Amino acid sequence: MDEIAKPDQLLEKLADDLKILLVEREIDDPLMVGIHTGGAWIADTLHAKLGISRPLATLDISFYRDDFSRIGMNPRVKPSSLPPQVEDRHIILVDDVLQTGRTIRAAMNEIFDYGRPASITLVCLVDRSGRELPIQADIIGQHLQLSPEQHIKLSGPKPLEFVIT
Residue 140: predicted pLDDT: 98
Residue 111: predicted pLDDT: 95
pTM for the whole thing? 0.92
Residue 62: predicted pLDDT: 85
Could you list the mean pLDDT of each consecutive 10-residue stretch along the chain, which spans 165 residues?
87 98 96 96 97 94 70 61 88 97 95 95 95 96 91 93 93
Q: Which domains does the chain have, with CATH numbers?
A: 7-63+79-164 (3.40.50.2020)
Measured at the CA of 21, the angle between CA 15 and CA 26, to 5 degrees, comes to 125
Residue 3: predicted pLDDT: 85
Residue 147: predicted pLDDT: 87
Dist CA 102 CA 165 (whole Å): 21
Q: Are 145 and 131 in contact (CB under 8 A)?
A: no
Residue 129: predicted pLDDT: 84
Integer CA distances (angstroms), 19 to 50, 68, 132, in order: 7, 35, 29
Handedness of CA 99, 82, 120, 7 (dihedral sign): negative
In this structure, are strands 57-59 and 31-35 parallel, antiparallel, or unpaired? Answer: parallel
